[in-house]
């Protein structure tokens, strides 16, 4: 398929597809630590075998943590706006169409959790995407105000969490020690199941861990995700997404990016200094990264806008075409990484350091993007995009 011809016919712009590619790369290197090691401990359970591993962990937190999913969330909001425009263009009922899409995402998310990765983001997008429907006619300024308020809420929650951990260390050390022990027992069980257990046991543990972690994922990640859903909708509503040469993107590169990187570097340094998941330094570091991530994300969007504004070449065309099938690439990432690290695959769970895991994740992400781009030369949509579209449109455009 001709990427430029298809994009023009569908009213697509180059920048969103490039954003999806960069987001996908970051998601892989962040997620791998929770696929290669227990979710309750991550790399803290033996992933720091050398200073190189510590540097890799620090770099991932400084450059990608709380930034990749915000880029992906931003693009979900952009996609939501495009879907509304498409429905209006074809005189279709957007509400029923969008409801089917949300249900489809939820189903894919549940399968993703059970068979591949309990850190799935599709279920969260399905739930928050349903709420996003209520904002479909909201003005741009109101969307921005809501988004900023939600980011402030996220930072407050995380800072409060760090403060409560510190108070717990001082006033309830026994309870803190008991909670840490419970997490260590959970990590040991994960090592046993994913390292030596069966495929069925891994499914049961993934579902169990997702049920345990969703309670803290919602307050920690939920506000940030929904904020960028709103920002993505606002970007299309204001038409800024179609103008990579806009002054706003330049300001993001020059002002927001340095602020975001400095804050993320400080936060990543604190996270690295933490001894365990209950260490207040680690939670405070994550809170600082979360506070800096909107600036970093804005800066990354500015850099991608600059890339999108340059004359199109073969490399950009190839990468952007891969960005049109990122749902398939995302699921393929999890499939490959689960086979690399779980016992029913290569069995490398808990065996490699953070640096090696990060390198494998980066290579996997690159492969999936290449696969998606090559697939799109022969087919109109990615494999999972085609399934989701058929369900969404029920054979009708």
Query: In percent, how much of the chain has pLDDT > 70?
Result: 96
Query: In percent, how much of the chain has pLDDT > 90?
Result: 75
| pLDDT digit string, tens, across residues 245-286 | 999 999 999 999 999 999 999 999 999 998 877 888 888 999
8 pLDDT exceeds 60?
no
Q: What average pLDDT does this structure show over 372-383?
A: 94
Q: How far is CA 316 from CA 4, 21, 135, 303, 308, in A?
A: 11, 11, 33, 14, 8
Which pLDDT score, from 0 to 100, does residue 7 have?
60
- Would you place residue 394 in the very low, low, confident or very high pLDDT band (cuts 50, 70, 90)? confident
190 pLDDT exceeds 70?
yes
| pLDDT digit string, tens, across residues 230-243 | 999 999 999 999 99
Residue 132 and residue 198 in contact, taking contact as beta carbons nearer than 8 Å: no
Which pLDDT score, from 0 to 100, does residue 208 have?
93
Q: How far is CA 357 from CA 43, 150, 192, 348, 362, in A?
A: 10, 33, 19, 10, 9
11 pLDDT exceeds 60?
no
Cα radius of gyration rounded to whole Å, the chain: 21
Which pLDDT score, from 0 to 100, does residue 395 have?
58
Which pLDDT score, from 0 to 100, does residue 397 have?
54
pTM score above 0.85: yes
Residue 342 and residue 194 in contact, taking contact as beta carbons nearer than 8 Å: yes
Q: How far apart are CA 255 and CA 252, in angstroms?
A: 6
Which pLDDT score, from 0 to 100, does residue 261 have?
97
Q: How far apart are CA 364 and CA 65, in angstroms?
A: 18
- pLDDT: which is higher, 7 or 118: 118
């Amino acid at each position: 398929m001709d990427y430029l011809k298809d994009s023009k016919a569908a009213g697509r712009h180059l920048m969103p597809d490039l954003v999806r590619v960069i987001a996908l790369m970051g998601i892989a290197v962040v997620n791998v630590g929770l696929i290669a090691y227990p979710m309750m401990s991550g790399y803290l359970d033996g992933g720091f075998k050398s200073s190189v591993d510590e540097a890799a962990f620090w770099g991932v937190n400084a450059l990608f943590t709380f930034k990749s999913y915000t880029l992906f969330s931003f693009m979900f909001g952009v996609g939501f706006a495009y879907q509304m425009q498409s429905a209006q263009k074809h005189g279709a009922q957007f509400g029923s169409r969008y409801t089917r899409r949300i249900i489809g995402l939820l189903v894919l998310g549940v399968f993703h959790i059970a068979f591949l990765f309990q850190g799935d983001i599709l279920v969260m997008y399905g739930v928050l995407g349903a709420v996003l429907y209520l904002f479909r006619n909201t003005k741009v300024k109101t969307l921005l105000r809501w988004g900023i308020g939600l980011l402030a809420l996220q930072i407050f929650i995380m800072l409060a969490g760090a403060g409560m951990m510190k108070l717990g260390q001082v006033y309830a050390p026994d309870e803190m020690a008991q909670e840490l022990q419970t997490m260590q027992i959970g990590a040991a069980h994960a090592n046993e199941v994913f390292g030596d257990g069966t495929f069925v046991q891994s499914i049961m543990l993934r579902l169990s861990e997702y049920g345990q972690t969703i309670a803290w994922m919602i307050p920690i990640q939920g506000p940030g995700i929904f904020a960028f859903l709103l920002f993505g909708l606002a970007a299309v509503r204001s038409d800024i997404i179609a103008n990579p040469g806009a002054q706003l993107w330049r300001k993001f590169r020059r002002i927001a990016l340095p602020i975001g990187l400095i804050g993320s570097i400080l936060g990543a340094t604190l996270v690295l200094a933490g001894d365990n998941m209950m260490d207040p330094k680690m939670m405070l570091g994550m809170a600082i990264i979360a506070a800096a991530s909107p600036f970093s994300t804005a800066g990354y969007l500015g850099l991608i806008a600059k890339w999108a504004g340059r004359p199109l070449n073969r490399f950009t065309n190839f990468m952007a075409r891969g960005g049109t099938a990122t749902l398939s690439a995302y699921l393929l990432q999890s499939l490959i990484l689960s086979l690399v690290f779980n016992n029913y695959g290569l069995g490398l769970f808990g065996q490699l350091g953070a640096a090696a895991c990060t390198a494998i994740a980066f290579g996997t992400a690159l492969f999936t993007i290449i696969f998606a781009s090559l697939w799109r030369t022969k087919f109109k949509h990615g494999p999972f995009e085609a399934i989701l579209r058929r369900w969404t449109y029920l054979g009708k455009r």
